Amino acid sequence: MERISAWTPLVAPLGQFRYGTVAGGVAPTPLKAEWLNMIQNELASFILAYLPKLDAEDNTQLLKAIQAFGERFPQKATTLAGYGILDAYTKTEADWLLSKKANNAITLAGYGIGDAYTKAVVDALLAAKQALIDNLASTKQDKNTALMAATGWCLDSATGFLEQWGSGECGPDSTTQPINFPRPFAEVYNCFGNKVTPNADDSDGNAAGARAVSATQYQLFNDTQGFRATIHWRAIGKAPGF
């Protein structure tokens, strides 16, 4: 599997899709047929590994393939979506227990061995195992994701709170062109910045910073005359889709 950057250079850092802006002369990441076909083939290959065929009318085939994987490879399926299956019998264990009980359940001279599992007990054991698998496969895990770098971001996937940061250079008494955030916001709550080290001859203090010009771009500014500035910036807001 490859990121979209394998087919086009028009991407954000780490090969992420980016928004474009006509005013800023930044082209958006094109949606390439090669990338879509790769995603389609990845999903179809996994489904066909555990199901007999693809079905255009069934939108639960990926879930069914994951469930089939858990039954076929119980030891590998002990951790799924962050949960460990520690208190359920595997299919191999259940089959072994059933075979042992079946061998012991012999009636001799009218007497039955009383330590065999009843059908109700076995059905309950198997139903509990299937319920665990179904629950793990269908539970969505909300986790934080982040790019921990000098210019990076952190997203709380449960709430959509997005924080981003970085640094850049700005010439004396000037403003940079709009710069793309590492990830687009749906809404920017705050964007600010400061010079790394104020200059001793800086007559107007630490008059440099950052501001959001849209949900996808920011600018750095430096009001100091005669001195360039390295500015650390930070922005917080809401991610798209929340």
Asked if residue 176 lies in contact with residue 219, where contact means CB atoms within 8 angstroms, the answer is yes
Query: What per-residue string of b and e applies to 9-27 under the rule 16 or more CB within 10 Å gives b?
Result: ebbbbeebbbbebeeeebe
For the chain, which residues make up each domain, given as ranges?
76-141, 144-238
Architecture of the domain defined by 144-238: Sandwich (2.60)
Pairwise CA distance, residues 173 & 156, whole Å? 37
Pairwise CA distance, residues 46 & 48, whole Å? 6
Q: Would you write out the chain's pLDDT as a tens digit for each of its 242 residues? A: 889 888 888 888 888 998 888 777 888 988 889 989 999 999 999 999 988 999 999 999 999 999 888 887 765 555 554 554 445 666 777 777 777 666 655 544 555 555 566 778 888 888 888 888 777 655 545 567 888 888 999 999 889 999 999 999 999 889 999 999 999 999 999 999 988 876 666 665 668 899 999 999 999 999 887 788 899 999 999 999 88
